[in-house]
Chain A
């Protein structure tokens, strides 16, 4: 071929149509049902897969071009940070406890999402959602890898980062995110779309990631901020997939509406309960806090989702999630209740904790004028008194866990912050305990599924976690000296002081 003048590029819409829908074909030597065996058993009816709109109109060439550019920018930041000993410019070494929680709790979920979106990319019937799922599968793998690369730099200097993958499968607080994803992956393809793409990505991901990345920026953690924003830019595409999925399914058949409503009710509460860990982290683990859980919840969830999205979905006959008022009612309590548990049990965690200092408590009191001074300040002052006398209170014993969200039973009744919220249900002559109306409702909807939960405390009692004593369990978890316990006086704390005084050599 001789070189001619470059042809004008096709318009975006036309290019997208050619590169997605036009690549679809009808099977000839197998039936449609054999090719797509999983899209009918959930009761969802789809009459016309061509009704699927993809507002992003992303084509495969553009996808790789932009993703490569994102990675180039990110890795330049990572190199610069590592070369300049950037970790010494963090607000404080204790900040990294938030990042430990992140790599143990979130990064494995990225990998799980990568796997499951690859499955959707094969088994969804429409070419447009298949392609969107394929892009998301590649995105999630990128997130997993960039997080590992980013955080590996901290692993050279600090404890708690080394065995996150093993810990995700074993450690008590990590069964919370793990069980949520296992629940989603063992559901059908449409429930998975509503659980992860809609309830998690669209409803709650902003609340979880954006303030967290702003917190990284504010605490001098440039690499985390960079991978966070880089991942979030993909997230906006994932949110679009979630919203498109729900609208498409609601438009396809009236009969889909109650099924979808049920899934929204279930998955909002599942994802919200998991976010309780993030609430504790945001309010207590950032040396320089940037936005409280309550403020983020009001801005990203109440204003944007309840105020913006749900009136939009009302058109299809969808109402806000069933237990949403319970979530609103506990926004002043959630982070404090969760962090008290993490503080009590951090001897068995792969991060360290500390009671908030006076300055931090002043900020918490400003953020939570209704509850902090009255209910939580006295608790932290008690811890300060214990420590002043040379002690440190850790809870001796194992907590009861919620059968559904797997968080220890520490939440309190809506109208009484002094009373622990207990619910129980009977199934096959056994009692099952849940932490809230939401978790109880989820349990009673699918008891056959939730009785199979792998509950870390039960597993320890059954002898499946290395042995009956704390040191044996910690060894089985992969927790080493310096990973756990109190921050003040920990290995990380000592190294941090030494590096800044110049009496400890870097990297030794």
Chain B
């Protein structure tokens, strides 16, 4: 067991569509590190990253299903501890 909050991360494809998604993730996770690589946005945070459907819908201005996240994600580091109709959470479990 480690005492410090370990980093979790998500890599997202850089695209028009995903800009709103990244903005929503920024809004819901204030302590985010964002790094740009060619074609990629690399997001990291200590402890966990939360994606809320409602925030994404507000940013995109349309309905959004959490399943659509599969079209955006390239990779992740962590554990998908929640994925339902309203929320996706990536964090380490222990």
Q: Do A and B come from one complex?
A: yes
Contact of B74 among A66, A232, A315 (CB under 8 A): A232
Q: Which residues of A are found within 8 Å of B1, using beta-carbon distances? A: 311, 314-315
Q: Which residues on B sit within 8 Å (CB–CB) of A315?
A: 1, 93-94
| List of A residues within 8 angstroms of B13 by Cβ | 229, 233
Complex interface bits, B1-17 against A, C-beta within 8 A gives 1, otherwise 0: 11000111101010000
**Binary interface profile of A, 196-210, with partner B (CB < 8 Å = 1, else 0)?**
000000000110011
Indicate if the CB atoms of A214 and B37 lie closer than 8 Å.
yes
B77 to chain A, nearest CB (A): 4
| Least distance between A19 CB and chain B CB atoms (Å) | 13
Query: Chain B contacts of A205 at CB under 8 A?
Result: 75
**In the complex the two chains form, is A233's CB within 8 Å of B80's CB?**
no
In the complex, whether A235 has a CB less than 8 A from a CB of chain B is yes
Task: Check A312–B74 contact: CB distance below 8 A.
Answer: no
* Interchain CA distance A426-B67 in the complex, whole Å: 54
B37 to chain A, nearest CB (A): 5
Chain B interfacial residues counted at CB < 8 A: 34
Tell me the A49-74 residues at the B interface (CB within 8 Å).
Answer: 55-58, 62, 66, 69-70, 73
**What residue of chain A has the Cβ atom nearest to residue B70's Cβ?**
A66
Interface code B53-77, partner A: CB below 8 Å = 1, 0 otherwise?
Answer: 0000000000000111011111111
Q: A311's contact among B2, B8, B9, B39, by CB below 8 Å, is which? A: B2
Flag whether B20 is at the interface (Cβ < 8 A).
no
* A62, A215, A233 — most chain B CB neighbours (10 Å): A233
Q: Please judge, given known A-B contacts A229-B13, A290-B38, A314-B94, whether A66 and B71 are in contact too, CB under 8 Å.
A: yes
B80 and A308: CB pair below 8 A? no
Once the chains bind, are B71 and A210 in contact (CB under 8 Å)?
Answer: no
* A291 CB within 8 Å of chain B: yes
Q: Which of A182-190, A237-245, A452-460, A496-504 contacts B (4 or more CB under 8 A)?
A: A237-245
Q: Residue B28 at the A interface, CB < 8 A?
A: no
Contact between B74 and A69, CB atoms less than 8 A apart: no
Docked-complex contact B84 and A57, CB < 8 angstroms:
yes
C-alpha spacing A94/B46, complex, angstroms: 40
Contact partner, A233, options B39, B71, B79, Cβ 8 Å: B71
B82 and A218: CB pair below 8 A? no
Q: Are B84 and A233 in contact (CB under 8 A)?
A: no
Check if B92 sits within 8 Å of A311, measured CB to CB: yes
Note all chain A residues with C-beta closer than 8 A to B83. 12, 55-57
Chain A contacts for B8, CB-based, 8 A: 308
* B34 contacts chain A at the CB level, 8 A cutoff: no
Give the chain A neighbours of B78 by CB distance below 8 A: 308
* Count of chain A residues near B, Cβ 8 A: 46
Knowing A57-B84, A311-B2, A312-B92, the reply to whether A236 touches B38 (Cβ < 8 A) is: no
B85 within 8 A of A: yes
Least CB distance from B47 to A in Å reads 11
Known: A214-B38, A304-B9. A56 touches B84 (CB 8 A): no
Cα A192 to Cα B49 with chains together (Å): 31
Interface centre among B1, B38, B40 (most CB of A within 10 A): B38
Contact partner, A308, options B39, B71, B77, Cβ 8 Å: B77
Which residues of B lie under 8 Å from residue A314 when comparing CB positions?
1, 94
Q: Is A213 an interface residue (CB 8 A)?
A: yes
Which chain B positions have C-beta within 8 A of A252?
Answer: none
Who on chain A is nearest to B66 by CB? A12
B39 and A237 within 8 A (CB) = no
Q: A399 interface residue, CB < 8 Å from B? A: no
Q: Is the CB of A290 within 8 A of B37?
A: yes
Other 19 A-B pairs with CB < 8 A, given A56-B80, A210-B37, A300-B77: A55-B81, A55-B83, A66-B67, A66-B70, A206-B75, A210-B11, A211-B37, A213-B74, A214-B40, A217-B40, A232-B11, A233-B70, A233-B74, A236-B75, A239-B76, A290-B37, A308-B6, A312-B92, A315-B93
17 pairs, A vs B, C-beta closer than 8 Å: A11-B84, A55-B81, A56-B80, A56-B83, A206-B11, A206-B75, A210-B37, A213-B40, A213-B74, A215-B38, A217-B39, A233-B70, A237-B70, A304-B9, A305-B77, A308-B78, A312-B92
Residues in A lying within 8 Å of B, measured CB to CB: 11-13, 55-58, 62, 66, 69-70, 73, 205-206, 209-211, 213-218, 225, 229, 232-233, 235-237, 239-240, 243, 290-291, 300, 303-305, 307-309, 311-312, 314-315
* 3 nearest A-B residue pairs (beta carbon): A217-B39, A315-B94, A304-B77
